């Protein structure tokens, strides 16, 4: 294919994690299991929060949004990967690749922004408890989530439109299991200087600023906890942040680890394996971290499962009577 913007008939090849035919069945089973666990775990969090009126608070409102975003985040990459393994095909259309890249950037950005909003929520709850319910009202919470969605949508749209202006060479092999933005830039034949500059600027503004906000919030939280005289108060304040801190560490350590490891080793295969951590493993572990460390979530889940267990036999009994 000659370089040029006429790429509507082209296909990209997703090389995946391994080209060994003997490993494909193992990879299929492993990623299908992780995908189903991610879907089930995050769906249970959403159902638990929505079904229990005691959890209709800003903290759990943001958590249910994060769970929904995690479901969408994994759904942009894993189903296509599983389909390619099942059909023994590595191809993805040019349009499909652009669409996948758009939604990947969109939901990755949303994850980042929601974690920042959750840090701000914890900061207000611990550092300004008397004004918490007044400041973190439902209107502000909805506005913060809407702002996260709008910024993420605009950013991913900008990057996708800029990629559409690029021309690609004959080598269209992506050493990943999804259409990763940086890998697509490396395949382009045309000048990618502007794309790279926008990418680094966005990294500073859309990743650096939220991270700075998170660090500032938690520095204030730690200072506030340190100033508490009651041991019980310190423990309660820390326990409300423990789950969020675990998710933050998991998200940032894995995503930063991917880019640092790829920059250090220059190995596309190691980068693909490392990217599994923040694209698949982190969304899968998030509901477990919150449910295992949070008594309110565990209580809501038990109530929800109990109601579902009681409702099942009642429905079956009514059908038999009919």
Query: 22 is in which domain, residue-wise?
Result: 11-321
* Residue 1 domain flag: no
Instruction: Give me the CATH number covering residue 309.
Output: 1.20.1070.10
Each residue of 98-146: pLDDT tens digit? 999 999 999 999 999 999 999 999 999 999 989 999 999 999 999 999 9
Number of domains the chain is built from: 1
Examine residue 40 and state whether it is found in any structural domain, yes or no.
yes
6 belongs to a structural domain = no
Q: Which two tokens stand for residue 69?
A: 């975003």
How many CB atoms lie under 10 A from the CB of residue 12? Answer: 24
Q: CA 79 to CA 98: how far, in whole Å?
A: 16
Euclidean distance between CA atoms 259 and 300, whole angstroms? 38
Give me the mean pLDDT over the 309-320 stretch: 59
- Cα 322 from Cα 313, distance rounded (Å): 14
Calpha distance 127→222 (Å, rounded): 10
**Is position 5 within any domain?**
no
- For 156, 182, 322, the CA distances from 92, given in Å and listed in that order, are 19, 17, 50
Distance CA 10, CA 207 (A): 32
CA distances from 73 to 7, 109, 132, 225 (A): 27, 10, 31, 34
User: Could you give the CA distance from residue 156 to residue 76 in angstroms, rounded to a whole number?
Assistant: 14
Higher pLDDT, 161 or 315: 161
Residue 147 counted as domain residue: yes
Backbone angles phi, psi at 4, to 5 degrees: 160, 170
Is residue 4 domain-resident?
no
Give yes or no for residue 70 having a pLDDT over 70.
Answer: yes
In whole angstroms, what is the distance from residue 56 CA to residue 165 CA?
45
Q: For residue range 218-272, list pLDDT tens digits in order.
A: 999 989 888 887 777 777 777 778 878 888 888 887 777 666 655 555 556 667 7
Residue 264's pLDDT is what? 55
CA–CA gap between residue 96 and residue 207 (Å, rounded): 26
Is 314 within the bounds of a domain? yes
The tally of CA atoms less than 13 A away on the side-chain side of residue 301 is 17
State the CB neighbour count (10 A cutoff) for residue 213.
17
Using pLDDT thresholds of 50, 70 and 90, give the confidence band for residue 65.
very high
Most distant CA atoms of the chain, gap in Å = 72
Residues composing the chain: 322
Predicted confidence at residue 67, as pLDDT, reads 95
Dihedral sign, CA of 306, 307, 311, 314? positive
**Listed residue (99, 80, 90) closest to 173, CA to CA:** 90
- In percent, the amount of the chain with pLDDT more than 90 equals 46
In a domain, 3, yes or no: no
Write down the mean pLDDT value for the chain: 85
- How far apart are alpha carbons 64 and 81 in whole angstroms? 26
Q: Are strands 91-93 and 11-14 parallel, antiparallel or unpaired?
A: antiparallel
């Amino acid at each position: 294919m000659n370089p040029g913007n006429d790429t509507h008939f082209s296909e990209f090849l997703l090389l995946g994690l391994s080209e060994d035919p003997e490993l494909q069945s193992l990879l299929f089973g492993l990623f299908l299991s992780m995908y189903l666990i991610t879907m089930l775990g995050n769906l249970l969090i959403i159902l638990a929060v929505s079904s229990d009126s005691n959890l209709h608070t800003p903290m759990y409102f943001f958590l249910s949004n994060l769970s929904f975003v995690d479901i969408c985040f994994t759904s942009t990459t894993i189903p296509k990967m599983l389909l390619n393994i099942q059909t023994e095909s590595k191809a993805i259309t040019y349009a499909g690749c652009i669409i996948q890249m758009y939604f990947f950037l969109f939901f990755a950005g949303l994850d980042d922004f929601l974690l920042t909003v959750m840090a701000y929520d914890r900061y207000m709850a611990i550092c300004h408890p008397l004004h918490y319910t007044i400041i973190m009202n439902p209107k502000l919470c909805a506005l913060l989530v809407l702002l996260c969605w709008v910024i993420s949508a605009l950013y991913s749209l900008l990057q996708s439109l800029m990629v559409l202006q690029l021309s690609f060479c004959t080598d269209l092999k992506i050493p990943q299991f999804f259409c990763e933005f940086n890998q697509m830039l490396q395949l382009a034949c045309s000048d990618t200087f502007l794309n790279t500059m926008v990418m680094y600027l966005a990294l500073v503004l859309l990743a650096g600023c939220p991270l700075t906000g998170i660090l500032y919030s938690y520095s204030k939280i730690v200072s506030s906890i340190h100033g508490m005289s009651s041991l019980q108060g310190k423990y309660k304040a820390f326990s409300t942040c423990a789950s969020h801190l675990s998710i933050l560490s998991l998200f940032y350590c894995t995503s930063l680890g991917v880019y640092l490891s790829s920059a250090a080793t220059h190995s596309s295969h190691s980068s693909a394996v490392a990217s599994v951590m923040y694209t698949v493993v982190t969304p899968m572990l998030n509901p477990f971290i919150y449910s295992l460390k949070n008594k309110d979530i565990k209580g809501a889940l038990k109530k929800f499962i109990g109601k579902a267990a009681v409702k099942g036999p009642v429905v079956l009994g009514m059908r038999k009577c009919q």
